A = this chain, B = another copy of it.
Amino acid sequence: MTTVAASAYDTLHEHFRQIHLLEGTAAILSWDQETMMPAGGVAFRGEQLAQLAGLGHRRRTDPKLGELLAAAADSLEGDEQAPARVNLREWNRDRERAMKLPAELVEEFARVSSTAQHEWAEARRDSDFARFKPWLEKLLELNRRKAECLGWDRAGGEPWDALGDLYEPGLSAKDIESVFTPLASRLRALIAEIASAPKRPDDRFDRLELPEAQQEAFVRFVADAIGFDFSRGRLDRSTHPFCGGSHRNDVRLTTRFRSNLTLDALGSTMHECGHGIYEQGLSAEHLGTPMGEAASLSVHESQSRLWENQVGRSQPFWRWLTPKLDGFFGSAVAGLDAAAMYGAANRVEPGFIRVEADEATYNLHIMIRFDLERRMLRGDLAVDDLPAAWNEHYRNYLGLEVPDDRRGCLQDVHWSMGAMGYFPTYTLGTMMSAGLFEAAERAMPGLAEGLARGEFGPLREWLVANVHAHGRRHRFRELYQLVVGEAFSADPLLRYLEGKLRPLHGI
């Protein structure tokens, strides 16, 4: 590396560090809005977030960047996988994307989505789609403009592709469809098998009414035990659970509680812990550069789903946790053994709410959302017709009559945040989580027995070494191949689900 190159690279490093600081500030403001901010702050907060988005965007599109990036690229030597080369590649990608978006659109997007989230929360509470409708229309319009600016393959593509690429680089709607279609038929077959199965798991625990304070102590204990570091993060409550925060040393999870949904609170908490453990596991050395950032949203979801499902719905986990229940819930849980808890954690039953869904039906919820947002973006589905289309899908995919929009198309926060193109990452991540867990079991033969003793460190460290440490070095499929040792597919997920759910239902 010559001195000139070092200098160009160092200048870029500092430039992007400043962007990272701004984005961290915006992330804290967004977290604050969902957890702490009084209602009166909504309009001003939208302006603050728009300002920060604009400041970040102007830095990403700074005219001097092109020259600096070229100067640094010309003179950096070594492996394409070397951190500085990876950073340059990703800085270029981020810049190219930003250059396509006018600052005015970026600011308007931040402003509208901030207010829309508040309107969504109110609309959801009252099951009042009419209240949210104008905001969804604005966000759809902004997303379509964004897709136009970003562009997509006009020959065989569609607007969704440009947005999906923001969350999972390089995957088009057609790619996702080709993954989802066969997966859907296998899952529907499994759900049908289970519906007519001779046996149903014991679900007593899931019918208990347990005080929220006890539930909170319980999920905090589990979060700490599986390795979420509370000296570098926190856990609060919000309408919709999420993982926010500004960097690896300040990671903010939220969860939610209802008296009769203790396993939902646990699952949500473990899910967000998976995101949080990923963030906390990112490289300290590369903080503020792409090598210190999460690879993609699908990889992020692979981490959350792995802790939620492969760990939190496993036999070893419940062998470890069941004897501890008494300390949190006392006599209410008398007579529940590890087998009963494992059963309750794996009850399959089609329901209205995605985040409460069992593992067999979960991905159908995702497929419904993917189809609807794709059609809205293409212009084939008007926002006016969304509730009816949503309800029709729930009838066809899950055999359910949606009773109201609160339990229908108002349930998820994502569209109100302006995030269209996000949902498929949950299923891609779920598929990856199964592949990763198989690889972890191959790499650590005593893994299951360790989990049954509450030893979560080895799994966490394996994930840090094999996934977190790479930052944005690899694309999703490339990382999958590298860590799992085979091409990305639904096979591990289907092996895992069929292998677990059939015996539990006496099939």
A residues at B contact (CB < 8 Å): 18, 21-22, 24-25, 28-29, 32, 36-41, 43-45, 47-48, 51-52, 55, 229-234, 246-247, 249-250
A231 adjacent to B24 (CB under 8 Å)? no
A40 adjacent to B232 (CB under 8 Å)? yes
B28 adjacent to A32 (CB under 8 Å)? yes
The docked-state distance in angstroms from the alpha carbon of A22 to that of B29 is 12
Contacts of A51 in B (CB 8 A): 18, 21-22, 25
The 4 closest A-B pairs by CB, nearest first: A40-B232, A41-B250, A40-B249, A21-B51
The docked-state distance in angstroms from the alpha carbon of A22 to that of B51 is 8
A39 adjacent to B231 (CB under 8 Å)? yes
Contacts of A44 in B (CB 8 A): 21, 24, 246-247, 249-250
The docked-state distance in angstroms from the alpha carbon of A249 to that of B52 is 20
A233 adjacent to B25 (CB under 8 Å)? no
The docked-state distance in angstroms from the alpha carbon of A22 to that of B52 is 9
B38 adjacent to A249 (CB under 8 Å)? yes
The docked-state distance in angstroms from the alpha carbon of A246 to that of B37 is 10
Contacts of A250 in B (CB 8 A): 37-38, 40-41, 44-45
Closest-by-CB residue of B relative to A248 is B40
B38 adjacent to A234 (CB under 8 Å)? yes
The docked-state distance in angstroms from the alpha carbon of A32 to that of B31 is 11
The docked-state distance in angstroms from the alpha carbon of A233 to that of B38 is 5
Contacts of A18 in B (CB 8 A): 51
Contacts of A39 in B (CB 8 A): 231-232
Could you list 27 A-B pairs, sorted by A, with CB under 8 Å? A18-B51, A21-B47, A21-B48, A24-B44, A24-B48, A25-B48, A25-B51, A28-B28, A28-B32, A32-B32, A37-B250, A38-B230, A38-B231, A38-B232, A38-B233, A38-B250, A39-B232, A40-B229, A40-B231, A40-B232, A40-B249, A41-B232, A41-B247, A43-B249, A44-B249, A48-B246, A55-B55
Contacts of A32 in B (CB 8 A): 28, 32
A309 to chain B, nearest CB (A): 27
A234 adjacent to B36 (CB under 8 Å)? yes
A233 to chain B, nearest CB (A): 6
The docked-state distance in angstroms from the alpha carbon of A269 to that of B51 is 33
The docked-state distance in angstroms from the alpha carbon of A169 to that of B45 is 30
The docked-state distance in angstroms from the alpha carbon of A211 to that of B479 is 54
Most chain B beta-carbon contacts within 10 A, residue among A29, A38, A232, A233: A38
The docked-state distance in angstroms from the alpha carbon of A52 to that of B48 is 12
The docked-state distance in angstroms from the alpha carbon of A79 to that of B507 is 87
Contacts of A246 in B (CB 8 A): 41, 44, 48
Given contacts A25-B51, A44-B250, 12 further A-B contacts (CB under 8 A): A21-B48, A22-B51, A24-B44, A28-B29, A32-B32, A36-B234, A39-B231, A40-B232, A41-B249, A41-B250, A44-B249, A55-B55
Contacts of A229 in B (CB 8 A): 40
The docked-state distance in angstroms from the alpha carbon of A25 to that of B37 is 12
Most chain B beta-carbon contacts within 10 A, residue among A24, A232, A234: A24
The docked-state distance in angstroms from the alpha carbon of A51 to that of B29 is 15
The docked-state distance in angstroms from the alpha carbon of A29 to that of B29 is 8
Contacts of A45 in B (CB 8 A): 250
The docked-state distance in angstroms from the alpha carbon of A37 to that of B249 is 10
A406 to chain B, nearest CB (A): 23
The docked-state distance in angstroms from the alpha carbon of A200 to that of B41 is 47
Contacts of A247 in B (CB 8 A): 41, 44
The docked-state distance in angstroms from the alpha carbon of A18 to that of B47 is 9
| A52-B38 CB under 8 A given contacts A32-B32, A44-B250, A246-B44 | no
Closest-by-CB residue of B relative to A247 is B44
The docked-state distance in angstroms from the alpha carbon of A18 to that of B38 is 22
A6 to chain B, nearest CB (A): 22
